[in-house]
């Protein structure tokens, strides 16, 4: 929902509105992120965007802040830097309202609350920003509607909590997702903790929970595995050196694929050097890591039995997944920091578990690694129902 200049100007003057946060400068980055979190959670249930005005004091007076491109970029990057999960929908613009030039951050209410900033749920209560109580988190969770949910947040009606590895959840996932002091203070039941993190719905595990740490995820999501082939030649019909199916929960697949990539990388040597003088790998593992994680995060898990594929030929590596580009990501902005998530819960979990440092940077990081290693740029093939990246060895 976009806001007109007239609506923005009215909100700027309304000192009582709980849809508005004012900041005289952008120096309080933590405060701005908390404000984004509170407006995305929309505890008062306005069902309308909230606004952060940067460049205006609390009393509404203009702070005469220089609104530079760098400031706008820094504000926009707060959306995808992984501190606020699930990723909020925001727009950042330079505006002149009531004779004051400022940065305007418009925050849409989250479709899948609660939203956390650094493991804590923040809400706006009147004019103040507060950490949400258990009851307030419950209210936010109950607002989620089945028809609005992504596939990974829908309940698996035939599954029970027994299908989840709750020990992994308690020992690994929960401490990485919720601030330690929050865990100590709340002492919530396992059901409450799972529900707060969108891992159960209506007492059933969500598809995302099953994919992430289910005991038998392929029973409920048949395509949620990786097919790996190492081929002696440049054609699929050539002899197969190695074949593996990497199955199980996603956190185990990520470990398995990392080990497999490292084992299969050949080292290119200068023929004039000794055998010990290794020059560079045929492929930088860091680039392959980004491409495979990208495929597992963004693939379509719904309505397909197709796996994520890693086919390693003598002259190239092909990494493919079912599901084309999603949402606001298109061929024009792909690989330039644009982000959108077919599987927001899976993306959030990969960030919490340390497999993603910053959203929207996987492809740029992979390109940097390839170029630094002397590999040609990869080839991307975009289809409506699939995505393929072809990586060739270093020259």
- pLDDT for 145 equals 54
- Please give the tally of structural domains in the chain: 3
Region 279-304: mean pLDDT is 93
Residue 272 has pLDDT above 90, yes or no: no
pLDDT in tens, 14-35: 887 889 999 999 999 999 999 9
- pLDDT for 280 equals 80
Instruction: Assess if residue 138 is contained within a domain.
Output: no
pLDDT in tens, 126-172: 778 899 988 888 888 777 654 468 899 999 999 999 999 999 999 99
Are 107 and 163 within one domain? no
Adjacent-strand bridge partners of 322: 386
Domain of 198, in residue numbers: 144-217
Position 188 confidence tier, pLDDT thresholds 50, 70, 90: confident
Are 175 and 154 within one domain? yes
pLDDT in tens, 28-57: 999 999 999 999 999 988 889 999 999 999
- pLDDT for 340 equals 84
Residue 276 is part of a domain; what is its CATH number? 3.30.565.60
Are 185 and 120 within one domain? no
- pLDDT for 268 equals 46
- pLDDT for 205 equals 96
Are 160 and 88 within one domain? no
Are 62 and 186 within one domain? no
Are 125 and 81 within one domain? yes
Instruction: Assess if residue 24 is contained within a domain.
Output: yes
What's the whole-model pTM score? Answer: 0.73
Buried b (16+ CB within 10 A) or exposed e, 282-319: bbbeebbbbbbbbbbbbbbbbebebbbbbbbbeeebbb
Region 260-287: mean pLDDT is 73
Region 205-234: mean pLDDT is 96
pLDDT in tens, 104-129: 999 999 888 899 999 999 998 877 88
What's the token pair of residue 16?
């009582």
What's the token pair of residue 289?
């890591």
């Amino acid at each position: 929902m976009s806001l007109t200049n007239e609506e923005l100007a009215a909100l700027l003057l309304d000192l009582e509105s709980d849809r508005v946060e004012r900041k005289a400068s952008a120096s309080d980055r933590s405060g701005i992120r908390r404000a984004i979190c509170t407006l995305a959670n929309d505890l008062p249930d306005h069902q309308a965007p909230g606004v952060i005005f940067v460049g205006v004091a609390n009393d509404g007076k203009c702070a005469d802040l220089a609104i530079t491109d760098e400031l706008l970029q820094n504000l926009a990057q707060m959306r995808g830097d992984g501190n606020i999960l699930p990723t909020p929908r925001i727009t950042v613009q330079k505006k002149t309202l009531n004779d004051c030039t400022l940065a305007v951050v418009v925050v849409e209410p989250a479709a899948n609350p609660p939203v956390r900033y650094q493991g804590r749920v923040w809400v706006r209560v009147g004019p103040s920003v507060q950490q949400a109580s258990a009851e307030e988190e419950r209210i936010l969770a109950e607002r989620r509607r089945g028809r609005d949910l992504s596939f990974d947040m829908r309940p698996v009606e035939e599954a029970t909590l027994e299908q989840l590895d709750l020990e992994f959840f308690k020992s690994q996932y929960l401490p990485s997702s919720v601030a330690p002091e929050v865990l100590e203070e709340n002492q919530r039941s396992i059901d409450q903790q799972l529900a707060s993190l969108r891992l159960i719905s209506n007492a059933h595990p969500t598809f995302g929970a099953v994919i992430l740490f289910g005991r038998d995820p392929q029973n409920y999501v048949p395509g949620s595995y990786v097919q790996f082939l190492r081929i002696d030649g440049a054609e699929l019909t050539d002899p197969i050196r190695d074949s593996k199916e990497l199955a199980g929960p996603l956190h185990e697949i990520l470990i398995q694929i990392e080990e497999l990539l490292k084992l299969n990388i050949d080292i290119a040597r200068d023929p004039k050097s000794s055998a010990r003088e290794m020059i560079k790998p045929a492929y930088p593992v860091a680039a392959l890591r980004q491409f495979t994680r990208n495929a597992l995060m963004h693939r379509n898990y719904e309505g397909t039995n197709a796996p994520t594929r890693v086919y390693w030929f003598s002259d190239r590596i092909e990494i493919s997944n079912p599901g084309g580009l999603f949402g606001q990501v298109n061929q024009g902005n792909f690989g330039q920091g644009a982000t959108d998530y077919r599987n927001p819960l899976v993306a959030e979990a990969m960030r919490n578990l340390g497999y993603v440092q910053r959203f929207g940077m996987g492809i740029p990081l992979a390109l940097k690694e390839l170029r630094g290693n002397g590999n040609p740029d990869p080839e991307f093939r975009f289809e409506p129902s699939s995505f393929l990246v072809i990586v060739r060895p270093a020259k």
